[in-house]
Amino acid sequence: MKKPAKKIAARKAAAPDIALLGLAEAARAVAQGKVTSQALTEACLARIAAWQPRVNAFLKLEADAALKAAKAVDRARKRGASLGRLGGVPLAHKDMYYRAGKETSCGSAIRRHWKATETATALQRLDAEGALDLGRLNMAEFAFGPTGHNYHYGHARNPWNTDRITGGSSSGSAAAVAARMVFGALGSDTGGSIRQPAHYCGLVGMKPTWGRVSRAAAMPLSYSLDTVGPLTRRVEDSALLMEILAGADPRDPTASTQPVGNYVAAAKSGAVRGLKLAVPRRYFWDKLNKPSAECLEAALKALSKLGVKIVEMTPPDMEMVTAASMVMISAEAAALHASWLRTRPNLYGDQVRARLENGLAVSALDYIDSQRWRSEATAAFLKAMNGADAVFAPVADRPAPTVEETDVAGRPEAGKTIAALTRLTRPINYLGLPAMTVPAGFVRGRLPIGFQLIGRPFDEAMLYRIAGAYEAVQPTYQTLPV
């Protein structure tokens, strides 16, 4: 990374403030000719030069290719050609989305120089709408870590306080978007890997319903739990990316044919009066620290003022849901990695190797039972919502902990530390429901926290509706990390 960073610093930086625009706002500015794609890209590159040494978000930067693509977009606009809904906007993605002919490390040593032979459907859809790709972003090794530690490529660090974790596994995606290095990024969420870094870094993170977004040519971790989704600074930006990403895909038989909602319209509607939001105090509030609890109560109050009816709900046994989820992810991840665990175990980092090994001790009987119980657990959760439009819950018990205190590697207490970080997000993957992190505010000075909106299957539009209305009265994106 050092050479490209120096090269970028030597470039004449464009007006840096345009890197602070929202994604949708930037796309509109390019389409209307108010700003060029080249200027946007140069502004992002200037931010990358300044922030990369501090947060280690990028594993690989493709500055020249992105600038070339940006100039092509600008020429196309002058010709009057259609640019697409993301025309000329620089993005970058977690290094687990395959692009034909390009190296995709998956954050691992095992795949350090592995070249993909096909391109992920998610990337194809963003490409088709004219998005630029600035490079590959850091991530937990094989997306199997919730802290942002990576022993092969260096840990990602939180732009709000670089002593603290970004969360993971979409660590580089969160760091890059929060530091305004790019306008948005793809993450993936198997147990909280989009929502949890979004919470720690003050971002909007959407984990869609399982099957809502195609996973074709994206690195798998756990087939039954993996989801693809965006991290952005604003709700409208997330909605725009989801409209583009969602939908059936012949390359992924698990991608749903359910119609895609009008997410952008929902995010901008502001129509939340009369909606019912359920609050599950049991389990979700059990370990919440005081500053976080106060911030979430303030958020609930703000939503109430908008006319949202807040009701209490008693969720089903979430400890049981978490246990079932652990059985499922352990078995599926171990099955994927068994061959490398046999032949190249020393190439794994200690934390990931230890977690993957767990799954070798799960019997077929237990795994199948975890699949059999799933619909029953989901039905019980939806029944507990008792007609509410969505659920409001914390994402994590506290703001970002330090890199040092969560550096557990393969130590015996690693399991407990990891379980504690994901205890509020992991069960929702098992239930298959859509869930979204919305920035709530800041605690302890400048540490962001978010709340989680959990919806009914394929009702992402409802989550965007509530999140958009909240953001309008609490625009946390206006506060920048320094």
In the 3-class helix/strand/coil scheme, how is the chain assigned residue by residue?
A: CHHHHHHHHHCCCCCHHHHHCCHHHHHHHHHCCCCCHHHHHHHHHHHHHHHHHHHCCEEEECHHHHHHHHHHHHHHHHHCCCCCCCCCCEEEEECCECCCCCECCCCCCCCCCCECCCCCHHHHHHHHCCCEEEEEECCCHHHCCCCCCCCCCCCCCECCECCECCCCCCHHHHHHHHCCCCCEEEEEECCCCCHHHHHHHCCEEEECCCCCECCCCECCCCCCCCEEEEEECCHHHHHHHHHHHECCCCCCCCCCCCCCCCHHHHHHHCCCCCCEEEECHHHHCCCCCHHHHHHHHHHHHHHHHCCCEEEECCCCCHHHHHHHHHHHHHHHHHHHHHHHHHHCHHHCCHHHHHHHHHHHHCCHHHHHHHHHCHHHHHHHHHHHHCCCCEEEEECCCCCCCECCCCCCCCCCCHHHHHHHHHCCCHHHHHHCCCEEEEEEEEECCCEEEEEEEECCCCCHHHHHHHHHHHHHHCCHHHCCCC
Tell me the closest approach of the beta carbon of residue 324 to other proteins, in angstroms: 5
Q: Does 439 bind other proteins (CB under 8 A)?
A: no
Q: Does 409 bind other proteins (CB under 8 A)?
A: no
- How many other C-beta atoms can be found within 10 angstroms of the C-beta atom of residue 137? 34
Q: Does 366 bind other proteins (CB under 8 A)?
A: yes
Q: Does 432 bind other proteins (CB under 8 A)?
A: yes
With CB under 8 A as the contact rule, the residue among 55, 206, 362, 438 that binds other proteins is 362
Q: Does 457 bind other proteins (CB under 8 A)?
A: yes
Tell me the closest approach of the beta carbon of residue 407 to other proteins, in angstroms: 18
Active site residue 207: no
Q: Does 415 bind other proteins (CB under 8 A)?
A: yes
Q: Does 103 bind other proteins (CB under 8 A)?
A: no
Nearer to other proteins, 310 or 341 (CB): 341
Catalytic residue among 60, 94, 207, 268: 94
Tell me the closest approach of the beta carbon of residue 194 to other proteins, in angstroms: 19
Nearer to other proteins, 137 or 324 (CB): 324
With CB under 8 A as the contact rule, the residue among 210, 283, 470, 477 that binds other proteins is 210
Stretch that binds other proteins, among 108-116, 307-315, 366-374, 390-398 (CB under 8 A): 366-374
With CB under 8 A as the contact rule, the residue among 322, 351, 422, 425 that binds other proteins is 322
The sign one gets for the Cα dihedral 53, 58, 60, 65 is negative
Active site residue 238: no
Q: Name the residue with tokens 């976080």.
A: 292
In 3D space, the residue among 264, 199, 255, 120 whose CA is nearest the CA of residue 401 turns out to be: 199
Pair 340, 357: CB distance under 8 Å: no
Tell me the closest approach of the beta carbon of residue 245 to other proteins, in angstroms: 20
Q: Does 347 bind other proteins (CB under 8 A)?
A: no
Tell me the closest approach of the beta carbon of residue 331 to other proteins, in angstroms: 10
Tell me the closest approach of the beta carbon of residue 320 to other proteins, in angstroms: 5
Catalytic residue among 170, 193, 256, 370: 193
Q: Does 345 bind other proteins (CB under 8 A)?
A: yes
Work out the burial of residue 58: count CB atoms within 10 Å of its CB; fewer than 13 is exposed, 13-18 middle, 19 or more buried: buried
Q: Does 406 bind other proteins (CB under 8 A)?
A: no
Q: Does 118 bind other proteins (CB under 8 A)?
A: no
Active site residue 60: no
Pair 179, 481: CB distance under 8 Å: yes
Q: Does 379 bind other proteins (CB under 8 A)?
A: yes
Catalytic residue among 37, 105, 108, 169: 169
Interface size with other proteins, residues (CB under 8 A): 41
Nearer to other proteins, 151 or 442 (CB): 151
Q: Does 330 bind other proteins (CB under 8 A)?
A: yes
With CB under 8 A as the contact rule, the residue among 9, 15, 298, 368 that binds other proteins is 368
- What is the phi/psi pair of residue 121, to 5°? -55, -40
With CB under 8 A as the contact rule, the residue among 357, 384, 420, 459 that binds other proteins is 357
Stretch that binds other proteins, among 60-68, 304-312, 360-368, 445-453 (CB under 8 A): 360-368
Tell me the closest approach of the beta carbon of residue 142 to other proteins, in angstroms: 16
Stretch that binds other proteins, among 3-11, 190-198, 267-275, 358-366 (CB under 8 A): 358-366
Tell me the closest approach of the beta carbon of residue 158 to other proteins, in angstroms: 27
Cα–Cα distance measured from residue 319 to residue 6, given in angstroms and rounded to the nearest whole number: 49
With CB under 8 A as the contact rule, the residue among 65, 100, 298, 361 that binds other proteins is 361
Nearer to other proteins, 322 or 437 (CB): 322
Q: What residues are annotated to the active site?
A: 94, 169, 193
For binding to other proteins (CB under 8 A), which residues are involved?
A: 210-211, 224, 317, 319-320, 322-324, 326-327, 330, 338, 341-342, 345, 354, 357-358, 360-362, 366, 368-376, 378-379, 382, 412, 415-416, 419, 432, 457
